Amino acid sequence: MDEQQFTELRSRVELWVRGPGEHWAEHIEATGEAPEELWVELNDHGFLRMAAPIEYGGLGLGFTRWMQLMEIFSRSHGSVRMIVHVVNGIWRSMDGHADDEQRKRFVIPSITGDIKIAFTLTEPGNGTGADITTSVVREGDTYFLSGRKHLITFGVRCDYYLLAARLEGSSGKDGTVALLVPRHAEGITVQDTSNTMGVVGTDHATLTFNRTPVPVANRLGAEGDGLAVFLGGFLTPSRISVAMSCVGLATRAQELAIEYARTRVTFGKSLTERQAIQFMLAENAADIEAARQLVLHAARRFEQGAADASMQSSMAKMHAVTMLTAVTDKALQVHGGLGYWKSQPIERVYRDARAQRFEEGTNEIQKTVVFRELLRTTPSPAPGR
């Protein structure tokens, strides 16, 4: 795709977000549901396969270009952003470990919109890494899966769970496996937990597995590759995507604050004539741009396959979340008491922003990753110094 084609695509995304996207936002907030019709519309526009390879049916956008579009999508409703973010990324996690048959069965259909796959890692009693306890026992050509997962986005409506488990009796990352578990397989109990503060309409689930049978043929990679599938193939680019989502949502909050400040008059002056408001909006603009450039830098490092891509992704996510918190708080303050009412778009933006603080790991997790990489890459002082 040349520059002119990309510019045209970007304009098409902007028009959709400001037009149909806003109508969908109103519908989702009114009904509490992101219906199947929305998924179909996004897929028909090609918005769910932008980052995938052309040979898989995608548009073949480079990661940095895709992030520029992710920023625009993130100015829309949180559920729209979530759908676009997840579907454009989950293929990447699978593709690096899939064989040819699995690409035909899972990877390509997830790109073309024929199946939905839910990223299934987090557990209620542990973290989201080598401490997972959901386990499998292998009997011939079948794994039997037992355990629990929670906070699983699209866990109600999906067709498959891309799930991390471990071989029973193992510990650490070497015992982990990545499985594609059919949503309606025997022994699965799905509890709908979609009643959230923000990002209304995105379904979430708590899952219980009781000796659920999963064909060994549905395992990605080898036994022991489970965390590599989840953390290596998905987490680094996904953190960059969430960071760019923060930039997009903050930009929308800033737009709403400026619009309101222009029209709100107090004591004969618009808010834009009040120096306190001017300073708040100026600070917001600088903070948003700084975060945007850091995220784009992280995107370029990932696209280049740089060794510091993981650290850069955590730095970008950590900084962008802090920025979003500050920007949305000031934007709401500009609206005064009126911003607290659901009749104002800023109220929804403020609620949606809170979810970014734990999506793909809290800031405390990001700081741990950054510090670990700093220790690894910073030379120790010479003896005697």
Nearest to 70, CA basis, from 54, 47, 92? 47
Nearest to 366, CA basis, from 327, 325, 320, 297? 320
Query: How many CB atoms within 10 Å of residue 44?
Result: 10
Distance of CA 122 to the CA centre of its chain: 14
Among residues 123, 360, 364, 373, which one is catalytic?
A: 360
Residue 357's SS3 state is coil
Q: DSSP code of 383?
A: T
Q: Which residues are CB-neighbours of 84 under 8 A, at least 6 positions away? A: 42, 47, 48, 70, 73
Alpha helices in 57-107 (DSSP H): 63-73, 78-95, 100-102
Query: How many CB atoms within 10 Å of residue 352?
Result: 28
Instruction: Determine whether 259 is an active site residue.
Output: no
Point out the residues that are catalytic.
360
